[in-house]
Each structure stands twice: as C-alpha cells, then as structure tokens.
Structure 1
Amino acid sequence: MYRKEFYVFDQDRPVPAVIRNYEEKDFPGLICVQQESFPPPFPSELWWNAEQLHNHVTLFPEGALCIEVNGEIAGSMTGLLVDADPNHPDHTWEDITDNGYIRNHNPNGNTLYVVDISVRPTYRKLGLGKWLMLSMYDVVVHKGLERLLGGGRMPGYHKKANEMTPEQYLEAVVKGELKDPVITFLLRCGRTPVQVVPNYLEDEESCNYGTLMEWKNPFCLSITEQGEC
C-alpha cells in the first residue's frame, strides 16, 4: 500500500502532509471534499456516495489516494485500470468509469484512468493537487503501466464558446493565451492533451466537453519497440 510523508508550504511555513490510500473510515471526509470542491452548477448526483467509495477501496485500493494536512483530509484522487486503445479515444466519463463505481476495473489493463481528483478550496494554495497527481504517477510506474489517462474539465470554455470551438480554446490554453482552471493545472502537472471529447461529462461550465490528457510512463518503451511495458 502507498504512504508518503512530506511537507507542503503555506507561503514560507512548512506544513506536514501525508498521501496514503483511503479507507472506509475516511468516507465522510471524502464526501465533504467532493461537496466543497464541486459546488453548483456541478451536478450534486456526481459527488461520491458510500457505495462508489466502497468499490474504490475493494476493487482497486492502489488507485484510491487521499492527502491529509495536519491530520485532516484535504483532497483525494481515484483511478481504475482500463485497456485503452489510442486509435479509438472517444468515450464518456460515465462509460469508462462505470459512472464512478469502477465495476469495470480491469486488473490487466495497460492504463491508469483518472476517475476524479479534488482538493478542498481552503487548501488549494498548498499545491496538493499536483502532489496527488505525482503520487498517481508513482502507481503507474510501480505497476509497469503504459500511461495515466483522464479527461479534464474545461470550466473556462463557457465564457468563450461563442467565440471559438473547444479545439481552438484548448490550443489557446496550451499556447498560454488563455488560462483554464483545470486544463492549465493538468499541464503544470506534466499531462499532455490527446484530444477534445464531446459529451464527456454533464458539465454546464465546460459545455459538456472534456480534454483527454495523458502522462506516459517514461520507463515504458512503446508496444512497437518492445512488445510490452
């Protein structure tokens, strides 16, 4: 199981933090993280429920991570394994994550797919999201997977939807001409865009679009070069 102890910084003040696998006793705190992280207009039915969280810790506990700051759960990140096909990247969040229940988790999958990452707003200046992402990269390397993959929301797109296509919006964010709260964060974490996916998630701010973004395992040669990771 995973456990990492380190310090984050509140300006110049070191603050103790721990990233570890979450457990059943953490469920109330994890649900509070969701409620604070995704306020309306984000659909409340997409917040975690106890059955989903139970599946996370039983079907793929390695992909169920939380971060504590001074002993309080401040954020979480969840993944499952899938057998991703780069030639057919289109999918919805609901289909590929089993609507967050991950009953379709494939222990032999080649890709760690991000179901969710969230950090409570009061802790967001501490860089916790990036620490969670880096820790999930550790899981990818440890398990010898090809990549980490996931669809990022585009919450800034609704402000530009009358001026540009989602692909043009993504290009502007990658060039640094625009800043998106999620896509820019994922770029800072080392993720790279694959493509824009329509109807990815019911999300008014993103106009239901998502950007599929990946992180390739640097220790894993391509299938064509070696046959396996």
Structure 2
Amino acid sequence: MSYKKEFFVFDGTKPRKTIIRSYKHDDFDDLIRVQKESFPPPFPSELWWNETQLANHVELFPEGALCIEVDDHICGSMTGLLVNYEPSDPDHSWEDITNNGYIRNHNPDGNTLYVVDICVSPAYRKLGLGKWLMFSMYDVVVHKHLKRLLGGGRVPSYHKFSDKLSIEEYVNEVIKGTIQDPVMTFLLRCGRTPVKAVENYLEDEESLNHAVLMEWKNPFGN
C-alpha cells in the first residue's frame, strides 16, 4: 500500500503546494541528491543512500519510504522499517537495526516502526518539512496498529560539551532547555521522547558516535 498526502506549507505568507508520498524507482536520483545536500562532510559519504538500498525500501516496505515535494521538487525523505522492540532489549547500532540501510531484516509482523533516516535539503528547512515527514510516519504507526515509532537521533552538538558532560547529562540539559541540539531538540518538538542514550550507534564525529533513542508511542495504546 502506498502513501500520499497533499497540503500547503507557508514560505512567509506564501502558500506552497506540498505532497508527501511513497517514493518510487524514478525518484532515486533526486533522493540521492537530497542526501548529499543534507549530510555534507564530515558526515561519511558512504552512508548516503545507494540505489540498492533505495530499491529495497520501495520493495520491502513502501509505506515506510516517504518523500516530500514542494512545488513538484523533491526536497526531503524519510525511511523506516518494522522491527520487534522492547525497552529491555540490549543496545543496538544503526547498522545492526537497519541492516546498514538495506532493511533486509524488515519484519512485516514487527511492533515498532524504526526510523532509518530523515533528511531535508538545507534550502527548504525553514518550511518545517521535517516535522511534516515525522507526522506522516506517525500516520503509518497508527494505520498499522504498531506500538511506537522509534529511532536513534544524532546529538551533533555533544562534542562541544563532552569535556564537561556525560552523554546522559547532556541529554538532561537538552530536555531542560539549557542546551539546544539541532537534532534532539527537533525531535522533541516533533513529539518524540527519549528512551536512552546509546554509545557506538553510528560513525559520527560531531556526536562522538553517540545517539539518543527517542520514541513516539501510539496514542491508541497498541
């Protein structure tokens, strides 16, 4: 089953036609372009999508492979897979839980929609597209009667505070609002709540390889 939602976002006072939909094979070049624009160095270029990964996304879980268009221009995407997860499970890395982005471990009977990736081209970030993508994935959680949406969020400002704060202390300061983190604060604004900090989650110099697992629970109590 594919996903499609049409609405308007506002660029100042100007409405701009926007569509969130399941992405297709014809979109792969644009999706890779968006990855390059969204994750410039020092983010590792080998972690940008390749066509094999994208093909798996659309074939294994099309409802979890979403892109966003503004005025017919693809400027963002979000990808997920289904897994079984309980808070008591041992820590995992991004590579392990997502099959290194290939999602061959997608479990159609899983209880959790796990976020593989979300990105928006920098020139479009003022339009709030990342939040719209996140809310669309919440739609999928409700539609499929899942327990939660879950994913590991980078903490790209942590390297500025690591000499003074442990990762757990840093997370608490972000929650209190005394520190603004570009990713974690964004996820809080989207309604996600922290589950726990994880070490060695992803090769990421700015986050010192840390991430924070953050979830959104299905409000219908599944």
When normalised by structure 2's length, the TM-score is 0.99
Q: What aligned pairs does 1:139-158 form with structure 2 within 5 A after superposition?
A: 139-158=140-159
Q: Which amino acid aligns with 1:51?
A: T
The answer to whether residue 41 in structure 2 is matched with residue 34 in structure 1 is no
- CA drift of 1:89 comes to 4.5
- 1:105 aligns to what? 106
The answer to whether residue 162 in structure 2 is matched with residue 166 in structure 1 is no
Distance 2:140 2:182 in 1: 25
Q: Which amino acid aligns with 1:101?
A: Y
SS of the counterpart of 1:73?
strand
Q: What aligned pairs does 1:212-223 form with structure 2 within 5 A after superposition?
A: 212-220=213-221
Aligned residues: 221
Distance 2:191 2:75 in 1: 22
- CA drift of 1:11 comes to 1.2
SS of the counterpart of 2:136?
helix
When normalised by structure 1's length, the TM-score is 0.96
- 1:122 aligns to what? 123
Distance 2:13 2:91 in 1: 43
Distance 1:65 1:204 in 2: 28
- CA drift of 1:85 comes to 2.0
Q: Which structure 1 segments of 5+ residues have no match?
A: 221-228
- CA drift of 1:88 comes to 1.4
Aligned sequence identity (%): 70
Q: Which structure 2 segments of 5+ residues have no match?
A: none
RMSD: 0.6
Runs of 4+ in 1 over 2 A off after TM superposition: none
Distance 1:57 1:89 in 2: 29
SS of the counterpart of 1:134?
helix
Q: Deviations over 1:43-90 (max 9, x none)?
A: 000000000000000000110000000000010000000000211151
Distance 2:90 2:132 in 1: 27
Q: Deviations over 1:93-126 (max 9, x none)?
A: 0000000000000000000000000000000000
Distance 2:117 2:126 in 1: 19
Distance 1:73 1:178 in 2: 32
